[in-house]
C-alpha cells in the first residue's frame, strides 16, 4: 500500500463523514462535521506539494532534493484560520441555543426529535410529549 493511497483514503473518509455530519439538523453535529472537513482540507493542502519523506523543506545548496515548503506555509495559515472560525461557530452555536432555546440549524422547533431519540435532554418537545412526526 502506498502512502498516496493512505492519505487519499484518509481524506476521503474524513470528507464523507464531515459532509454527513454537516447535513444534520443540529448545530453540534454540524460543527463537528465542519471540523472533520477542515481536517481533510488541511491534509489535502499538505499533499498538494506532493508527498515526500525524509526531505528538508528548506532550500540549501548542498541538498539537491527538497520537499515543497509552500504547502506547509499554506496549511499553517489554513489551520489557524479554520481553527479560529470553528471556535467562533462553537460560541455562536452555544449563544444561539441559549437565546432561542433550540439547537436546530434552521432555528425552528424540532422537526426530527423522534429520530434523535429521547436521550436528548435539551429537547423540550420530548419532555412535553409533543411528537412532531
Partner 1 sequence: MSLATHLPILPVVIPALAAPFALLVMRRRRRLGIAIAIVSCLALLATALTILAQVADGTVLAYAVGAWPAPFGIALVADRLAAMMLVLTSLLALIALIHAVVTRADRKGWHFHPLFQFQLMGLNGAFLTGDLFNLFVFFEVLLIASYGLMLHGQGPARLKAGLQYVVVNLVGSSVFLIALGMLYALTGTLNMADMGLRVAAVAPADQGMLRIAGLLLVSVFALKAAVAPLHLWLPRTYAVSTPAVAALFAIMTKVGVYSLIRVVPQVFGEGAGAAAWVPAPWLFPAAMVSAVIGFAGVFVARSMSEQASYAVIGSTGTLLIAVAGWREDSLGAALFYLVHSTIAAAALFLVADVTARRRGAFADSASPGPAFVGRGGIALMFMAAAIAASGLPPLSGFIGKLMILKSVAPLPHWGWAWGVILVTTLIGVIGFARVGSAVFWKTGEACDAPLIPALRRDLAAPALALALLAALSIAAGRVSAYAEAAAAQVLDPAQAAAAVLTEAAP
Summarize as ranges the residues that interact with partner 1 (CB under 8 A): 22, 27, 30, 34, 37-38, 41, 44-45, 47-50, 70-71, 74, 77-78, 81-82, 84-86, 88-89, 92-93, 95-96, 99-100, 105-107
Least separation, in Å, of the C-beta of 2 and partner 1? Answer: 17
Helices (H), the chain: 3-22, 27-47, 70-100, 113-116, 124-128
- From the CB of residue 96, how many other CB atoms can be counted at a distance below 10 Å? 17
Question: Closer CB to partner 1, residue 47 or residue 67?
Answer: 47
Question: Closer CB to partner 1, residue 44 or residue 126?
Answer: 44
Copy the grid coordinates of residue 128. 412535553
Least separation, in Å, of the C-beta of 89 and partner 1? Answer: 5
Residues 6+ apart with CB under 8 A from 81: none
Question: Closer CB to partner 1, residue 86 or residue 116?
Answer: 86
User: CA 120 to CA 131: how far, in whole Å?
Assistant: 14
Amino acid at each position: 500500500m502506498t502512502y498516496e493511497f493512505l492519505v487519499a483514503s484518509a481524506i476521503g473518509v474524513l470528507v464523507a463523514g464531515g459532509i454527513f455530519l454537516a447535513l444534520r439538523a443540529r448545530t453540534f453535529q454540524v460543527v463537528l462535521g465542519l471540523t472533520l472537513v477542515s481536517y481533510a482540507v488541511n491534509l489535502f493542502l499538505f499533499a498538494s506539494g506532493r508527498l515526500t519523506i525524509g526531505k528538508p523543506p528548506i532550500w540549501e545548496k548542498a541538498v539537491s532534493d527538497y520537499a515543497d515548503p509552500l504547502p506547509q506555509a499554506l496549511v499553517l495559515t489554513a489551520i489557524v484560520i479554520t481553527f479560529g472560525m470553528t471556535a467562533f461557530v462553537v460560541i455562536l452555536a452555544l449563544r444561539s441555543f441559549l437565546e432561542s432555546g433550540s439547537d436546530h440549524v434552521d432555528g425552528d422547533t424540532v422537526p426530527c426529535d423522534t429520530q434523535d431519540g429521547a436521550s436528548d435532554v435539551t429537547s423540550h418537545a420530548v419532555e412535553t410529549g409533543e411528537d412532531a412526526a
